[in-house]
Amino acid sequence: MILYSTRNREEKADFRTAVMRGLAPDGGLYMPDSLPKMPVSFWQELRERSLRGKARILFDLLLADDFSENEREEIASRAFSFDAPVVSLDERTHVLELFHGPTLAFKDFGARSMAAMMSVFARKEGDTITIVTATSGDTGAAVAQGFHNAPGVEVYVLYPSGQVSPLQEKQFTTLGGNITALEVNGTFDDCQRLVKDCFADKRIREARQLTTANSINIARLLPQMIYYIHAVAGLLPDGKNVSAEGGLARPVVCSVPSGNFGNLTAGLLAHRIGLPVRRFIAATNVNHVVPDYLSAGSFHPKPSLRTISNAMDVGNPSNFDRMLDLYGHDHQAMSRDIQGAWFDDPQTREAITDVWNRYGYLMDPHTAVGYLGSRQHTAENEQSLILATAHPAKFPETITSLLPDVLETPDQLLEAAAGRKQSIPVEADLDAVRDVLLKN
């Protein structure tokens, strides 16, 4: 696969280069240079395949030039090793549960895919790849869990001491092995600055092949197409009645709880290669710069506001440039495919209670925002597919304040809570971080 930068279509890179760089040298984001368009029959034939089988088929379709057949199989089986079931609340409301991985959130799929791909690169080059990343909580957990035991990759997670919730801290400090947690005596901003400083430091760069694991990496984005394919293919009817919308009596509208819009962008890419989805709903909390763009046609980033769906508290979404690029900066074209919707915390709380009372189904605050979006924008003759991005047990305060006694804690959280924290305390300066990186 060849990729180009959203800042300049002539700035191209092969897949490996794009993955190792993260950002293009001109600061743009990488986008696939060309995508195949598959007929409806192609998606219908996938209906009976497992999630991992579908992953393999997508990798065959897009990454055949970049990985051998064995490598594609290895990546699919490492990254798509847990299921993403679709739960139907009623005949036209479906929930795609993306939270059965180690950190109970959809980011596990992207993080594990990227880890598997980097392991393949490291093996081919006979070198070790070092990931340095800063976290205020969630990202660190997904990256650490995703890369845990990935051969040829070492991960350093920098986090601000005392400023990460105890359970989140456990999710990335109890793993050991190739995951080292650096507990920084400073703030999250210090951690981010230190990561930048590591990349600028000659001695570290000479000693280690450094890369980042941030959410804009194309290796995290592309594999996220797979669960859309998985869910939509599963809804397609049998038989030869094949129309542009998959022969569905009720076409599918996907509602995506969004923050940096990586998840939604992956859905748009799946749509581009022909997956029969009628429309998308970009559902946000009060950080609604993208819904505002969709309704008004102008984009105004803002400082983020804190909400109970905090993984979507983003005021300047990093993947918005990719969305603009996909639609050639044509606002009308984008708003034909995507509707915006946003909701505040009281509405989100009410939705959690309402869904529980109505269906006996428990949603986390992010998924509840997606549910509200689908309620607002799905017509009678359509069906909605809501992406459930996190397990409700990740948000015990919110859930138990609304619905005491219904929350069950999954094994993943119990295991992390029982683990022993291992971290290396460091001062918030480059010398201290360099010492650790060069000594290990």
Ligand X SMILES: *Cc1c(COP(=O)(O)O)cnc(C)c1O
- Site residues, ligand X (CB under 6 A): 105, 107, 138, 257-263, 311-312, 366, 389-390
Coil vs helix vs strand at 129: strand
The one-letter amino acid at 45 = E
Paired sense of beta strands 30-32 and 209-211, if any = unpaired
> Furthest-apart CA pair in the chain: how many Å?
65
Which C-beta is closer to ligand X: that of 179 or that of 311?
311
Smallest separation, CB 225 to ligand X (Å):
13
Strand order, beta sheet including 86-90? 86-90, 93-97, 383-388, 252-257, 279-284, 338-342
Smallest separation, CB 301 to ligand X (Å):
15
Which C-beta is closer to ligand X: that of 133 or that of 389?
389
Smallest separation, CB 325 to ligand X (Å):
16
Smallest separation, CB 263 to ligand X (Å):
4
> Are the CB atoms for 264 and 317 separated by under 8 Å?
no
Residues 6+ apart with CB under 8 A from 146: 102, 108, 110, 111, 112, 114, 115
Which C-beta is closer to ligand X: that of 246 or that of 373?
373
Instruction: Write the DSSP string, 210-235.
Output: EE---TT-HHHHGGGHHHHHHHHHHH
Smallest separation, CB 311 to ligand X (Å):
3
Which C-beta is closer to ligand X: that of 32 or that of 317?
317
Residue 15 pairs with which residues in a beta bridge? none
Which C-beta is closer to ligand X: that of 141 or that of 153?
141
Which C-beta is closer to ligand X: that of 102 or that of 247?
102
Smallest separation, CB 305 to ligand X (Å):
15
| Distance set, CA 389 to CA 5, 98, 101, 241 (Å) | 28, 6, 11, 32
